[in-house]
């Protein structure tokens, strides 16, 4: 079974998807982490993240795996570096390349085959797993999402984060490939005023209802 969660950056997708997976005993798969891993790898190797050809060449060369729930690049656990400001700044541009998106789609579908998973990431419900048994779209105001990110990143400037989120939303919605949108059959949940546990319970209640 596939439970797919979509929505803009900072809407609570990762935290809640991970918690839902734990409570249901499913595997947690974060598709957005694959794009972040490609972006991080390019930055680490001194590659301009906006140079599509070099980013693609590097992406095809490296090996991304999931070990103990963490993303590893060529065997090195890189999970705690995936949400750095530098990765945030370029991840959207890297993920806009259809060739990169195809690499990620193939990788996550292969990983999910024959498993019960909870997965999240932009276009998860519309492109990667359009036939998922359950689809959810999380949303929250840019201000709420910026405050959440500021808490995660010690010493980060709220206004800069807010500006980056607004710009990220614009780019994600205007992409020719994999644009951010709500699947027609997705359950919409505004997480702005809800706690993590409240959103988690809404998801689990929906999953436990008969299809």
Q: What is the pLDDT of residue 45?
A: 97
More confident residue, 191 or 154: 191
Over residues 102-151, the pLDDT tens digits come to: 999 988 888 888 789 999 987 889 989 999 999 999 999 999 999 988 88
More confident residue, 56 or 176: 56
pLDDT averaged over the chain? Answer: 90
Over residues 53-72, the pLDDT tens digits come to: 999 999 999 999 888 878 99
CA-closest candidate to residue 94, choices 152, 132, 33, 51: 51
176: pLDDT strictly greater than 80: no
* 31 pLDDT tier (thresholds 50, 70, 90): confident
pTM summary value: 0.74
Q: How far apart, in whole angstroms, are the C-alpha atoms of residue 85 and residue 157?
A: 11
Q: What is the pLDDT of residue 211?
A: 52
7: pLDDT strictly greater than 60: yes
Long-range contacts of the stretch 163-171 (C-beta < 8 A, 24+): 164/88, 164/89, 165/8, 165/9, 165/10, 166/142, 168/8, 168/9, 168/88, 168/92, 169/8, 169/9, 169/142, 171/92, 171/93, 171/96
Q: Which residues are CB-neighbours of 110 under 8 A, at least 6 positions away? A: none
Q: What is the pLDDT of residue 153?
A: 79
How would you list the strands of the sheet with 76-77, edge to edge?
Answer: 64-67, 70-73, 76-77
* Listed ranges 82-86, 106-110, 178-182; the one with the highest mean pLDDT: 82-86
Q: What is the pLDDT of residue 210?
A: 63
Q: How far apart, in whole angstroms, are the C-alpha atoms of residue 174 and residue 95?
A: 13
* 21 pLDDT tier (thresholds 50, 70, 90): very high
150 three-state secondary structure = helix
- 35 in Cβ contact with 100 (< 8 Å): yes
Mean pLDDT of 42-48: 97
How would you list the strands of the sheet with 134-139, edge to edge?
Answer: 27-30, 117-120, 2-6, 134-139, 187-190
Domains observed in the chain: 2-205 (3.40.50.300)
Which tokens hold the place of 148? Answer: 């959440």
More confident residue, 5 or 154: 5
CA-closest candidate to residue 141, choices 15, 16, 8: 8
Indicate the range of 35-39, 74-78, 85-89, 107-111 predicted with least confidence. Answer: 107-111
Strand spans (E) along the chain: 2-6, 27-30, 64-67, 70-73, 76-77, 117-120, 134-139, 187-190
Give the CA distances from residue 129 to residues 6, 95, 111, 163, 171, in Å, rounded to whole numbers and listed in that order: 11, 17, 12, 30, 22
Which tokens hold the place of 122? Answer: 């932009």
Q: What is the pLDDT of residue 51?
A: 97
């Amino acid at each position: 079974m596939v439970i797919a969660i979509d929505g803009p950056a900072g809407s609570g997708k990762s935290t809640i998807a991970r918690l839902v997976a734990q409570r249901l005993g499913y595997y947690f798969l974060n598709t957005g982490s694959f794009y972040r891993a490609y972006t991080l790898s390019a930055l680490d190797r001194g590659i301009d993240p906006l140079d599509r050809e070099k980013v693609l060449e590097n992406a095809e060369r490296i090996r991304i795996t999931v070990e103990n729930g963490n993303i590893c690049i060529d065997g090195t656990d890189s999970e705690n570096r995936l949400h750095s400001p530098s990765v945030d700044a370029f991840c959207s541009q890297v993920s806009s390349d259809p060739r990169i998106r195809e690499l990620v789609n193939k990788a996550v579908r292969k990983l999910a085959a024959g498993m019960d998973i909870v997965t999240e990431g932009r276009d998860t419900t519309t492109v990667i797993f359009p036939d998922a048994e359950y689809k959810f779209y999380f949303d929250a105001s840019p201000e709420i999402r910026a405050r959440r990110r500021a808490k995660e990143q010690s010493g980060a400037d709220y206004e800069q984060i807010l500006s980056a989120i607004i710009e990220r939303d614009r780019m994600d919605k205007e992409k020719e490939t994999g644009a951010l949108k709500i699947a027609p059959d997705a359950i919409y949940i505004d997480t702005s005023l809800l706690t993590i546990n409240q959103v988690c319970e809404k998801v689990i209640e929906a999953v436990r209802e008969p299809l």
